[in-house]
Amino acid sequence: DTSVTEVNSFSPSVPISPSSMINQYKFEDEPELRDLFITVDEPESHITAIETFITYRVVTKTTRGEFDSSEYEVRRRYQDFLWLKSKLEEAHPTLIIPPLPEKFIMKGMVERFSDDFIETRRKALHKFLNRIADHPTLTFNEDFKIFLTAQAWELSSHKKQGPGFLSRMGQTVRAVASSVRGAVKNRPEMFTEMNNYMETFSQKINLLDKIAHRIYKEERDYFNEMKEYGPIHTLWSASEEDIADSLKGLASCIDRCCRAMEKRMAGLSEHLLPILHEYVLYSEILMGVLKRRDQIQGELDSKVDALASKKTEKDLFSEEIGKLEDKVERANNALKADWDRWKQNMQWDMRSTFTNVAENNLRYYEE
């Protein structure tokens, strides 16, 4: 990783703030190269005799030739997003599909269907679709296009169609892999390193997530206590003429501290907690992707072993092994490219998130 010293070497005579330092990195495609823009907004509650659910407006603007129009507006519920994610996983088993927010929020954080919950989910769904739109392969997926453009009845009709070839292929891979025991024999060193990296990353990001939630809870408890002290000092000043001014001044200071802490808590809940939790979900997704790559490798290994033990049907086995070798190579190449891209984005997100937290803390203590 580029160190702070290296970044400062761009212009040693000019002090660089954390914000401007972040702006010197560029991992995503240039904005002017993008040709697909998606917005998720306007959540709307729907109450039926059977269920209560929320739909979100999804607005798409594009200049791509494969779209019949330059702008689309549809409404989607959470289940539709789940369907899209599952279709992407079926079609691209060794690509890193962005995470969706969980169906149910953790107990004690916010109530389901509250404004805070709906807004948190809306932001996560917006990010989910835009991460897909920015992905060099997923962005051209046919189910993604249907999700963005089809009206509700068209999407329902499309969902009812049976699983495609890729889905059946995925089931076959899982069936074969379930019979494979132990570690993959011929796993390339690169994927062993990825696996080790993700095990460590998963432990660290889960720990950071827990620490961040604990900090937020402690801040919230402190804030709730502090809110009571301002009015108490104001009431006290009414019965203490000699120190009334001092008590009122103290009440005013406590009130300003409360406002500063409220802004700090908002920064944690809007910028730190969602990013950390997103990468907790990413760590689970990455482990799953690496397992699927190993399953494809395991299928190839089992065929090679079968060929070595059989003298007959050699031509048939050789042909199958050739196809499986191609399949493993495609899976490896897809994962390698996606891994590099994901790691760069992760480092960008972590760097900007923690820099943002540091700047919020500086502002808080200054205030």
User: 91 in a domain, yes or no?
Assistant: yes
Helix (H) or strand (E) holding 37: strand 36-47
What is the phi/psi pair of residue 59, to 5°?
-105, 130
Are 196 and 305 found together in one domain?
A: yes
Are 131 and 249 found together in one domain?
A: no
Higher local confidence (pLDDT), 10 or 36: 36
User: 114 in a domain, yes or no?
Assistant: yes
* Last residue of one domain, picked from the residues 100, 124, 149: 149
**Band of the pLDDT at 34, cuts 50, 70, 90?**
confident
Are 250 and 342 found together in one domain?
A: yes
**Band of the pLDDT at 46, cuts 50, 70, 90?**
confident
User: 265 in a domain, yes or no?
Assistant: yes
User: How far is residue 283 CA from its own chain's centroid?
Assistant: 10
* Last residue of one domain, picked from the residues 149, 174, 207: 149
User: 75 in a domain, yes or no?
Assistant: yes
310-343 b/e (C-beta count within 10 Å ≥ 16 → b): eeeeeeebeebeeebeebbeebbebbbebbebbb
Are 250 and 349 found together in one domain?
A: yes
**Predicted local distance difference test score (pLDDT) of residue 367:** 87
**Angle at CA 269, nearest 5°, toward 225 and 340?**
150
User: 166 in a domain, yes or no?
Assistant: no
DSSP class of residue 241? G
Tokens of 175: 């069936």
* Last residue of one domain, picked from the residues 127, 149, 171: 149
Are 215 and 133 found together in one domain?
A: no
**Band of the pLDDT at 50, cuts 50, 70, 90?**
confident
AA identity, residue 97: I
**Band of the pLDDT at 139, cuts 50, 70, 90?**
very high
**Band of the pLDDT at 111, cuts 50, 70, 90?**
low
CB 124 within 8 A of CB 110: no
With a pLDDT cut of 90, the percent of the chain lying above it is 53
Are 238 and 285 found together in one domain?
A: yes
Tokens of 214: 């604990």
User: 162 in a domain, yes or no?
Assistant: no
Write the pLDDT tens digit of every residue in 172-223.
444 444 444 445 677 889 999 999 999 999 999 999 999 999 999 999 999 9
CATH number of the domain within which 107 lies = 3.30.1520.10
Tokens of 54: 């929320």
How many domains does the chain divide into?
2
Write the pLDDT tens digit of every residue in 222-270.
999 999 888 999 999 999 889 999 999 999 999 999 999 999 999 898 8
Are 194 and 324 found together in one domain?
A: yes
CATH number of the domain within which 296 lies = 1.20.1270.60
What is the phi/psi pair of residue 41, to 5°?
-155, -170
**Predicted local distance difference test score (pLDDT) of residue 321:** 79
User: 351 in a domain, yes or no?
Assistant: yes
Are 106 and 207 found together in one domain?
A: no
Are 280 and 132 found together in one domain?
A: no
Are 131 and 190 found together in one domain?
A: no
CB 219 within 8 A of CB 264: yes
If you average pLDDT over residues 132-147, what whole number do you get? 93
Are 59 and 137 found together in one domain?
A: yes
User: 68 in a domain, yes or no?
Assistant: yes
**Predicted local distance difference test score (pLDDT) of residue 16:** 46
Which residues constitute the domain of residue 90? Answer: 36-149
Alpha helices in the chain (DSSP H): 4-8, 18-22, 78-91, 115-134, 142-149, 152-159, 165-178, 189-238, 244-267, 273-309, 314-366
Are 336 and 210 found together in one domain?
A: yes
